[in-house]
Structure 1
Amino acid sequence: MWGIDLIGPMPTATGGAKHAIVAMDYFTKWVEAEPLVHITEANIISFVKKNILYIFGIPNTIFTDNGTQFDGRKFRELCDKHGINNYYASPAHPQTNGQTEAVNKIIKHNLKAKLATKKGSWADKLPQVLWAYRTTERGSTGETPYSMAYGAEAVIPVETSFSSPRVQLF
């Protein structure tokens, strides 16, 4: 099950992005995110194909809010074509997509911490924030999203500066 949500508007980034789309696998806690210049159904479909379907395979369920970009005919056709159940959070209770809402807060907090003076460079820093999130142990699983998704921990940059056993083996 994947939850998908949007962050923004944020300060205009290089390339004109003001929003980000964020998707989280509820089992592994793996997060995918991408800056968006325009929030359109076509951009949402492209993101889902590129960042979920073509990497992780067909999910059983996608959980979103009921914004028009998630409730359009083409998005519903994509879900129907692949047998994906598409559930919507109630507008009065967005917390029903709580895991994705929580990860959005973490991403926004970490972006703000990295961008004290250069707020418009958030899109450039997004991959670093995602890397940090993916390689940090989650309390709910006791594992990192990286190890949950790939079955092994990532070799992090500090490990390459000394001869750790993991670096020697790989």
Structure 2
Amino acid sequence: MRIKQRFTTVAHPQAKGQVEVTNRILVQGIKRRLERVRGNWAKELTSVLRAYRTTPKGSIGESPFSLVYGTKAIIPAELGIPSHRIMNFSEERNENLLRENLDLIEELREKAFLRMQRYKNIMINSYNKRVRTRSFQVGDLVLRRPDALKPVG
């Protein structure tokens, strides 16, 4: 899965970019729900996590749930409404389909990885179009930020 574990300090959360983005999304979801339930965030956390895990991500085209389990999740609202998936449910057939999906999960993950790489390349190209290269010569005047003068460490 090409996952690299990196250790960062608590004082430098910017080093964990993806974790910070995910946490920000979860906090926004909890805040939206807290407006309705008035402060009982612990009860809302499971539904916010479910929503995050079952929503397809644009960069990979799949939901985290489907990449882990190889199938799409049935959301609670779908249980109460007669749908094709619910009406034609058979436990035995479901077991067989889940096994088949597990055989295909690596292919699904590989496709998601390729989509993510393509998305990254699009973002890199978009950024690089706006970047101007600058070259400085000895003796050129430059503007430095005051915090650049502070010692590191």
TM-score when scaled to structure 2? 0.49
Compare CA radii of gyration and give the structure with the larger one.
Answer: 2
Structure 1 or 2: more strand by fraction = 1
More contact order relative to length (CA 8 Å, sep ≥ 6)? 1
Structure with bigger helix share is 2
**Which TM-score applies when normalising by structure 1?**
0.45
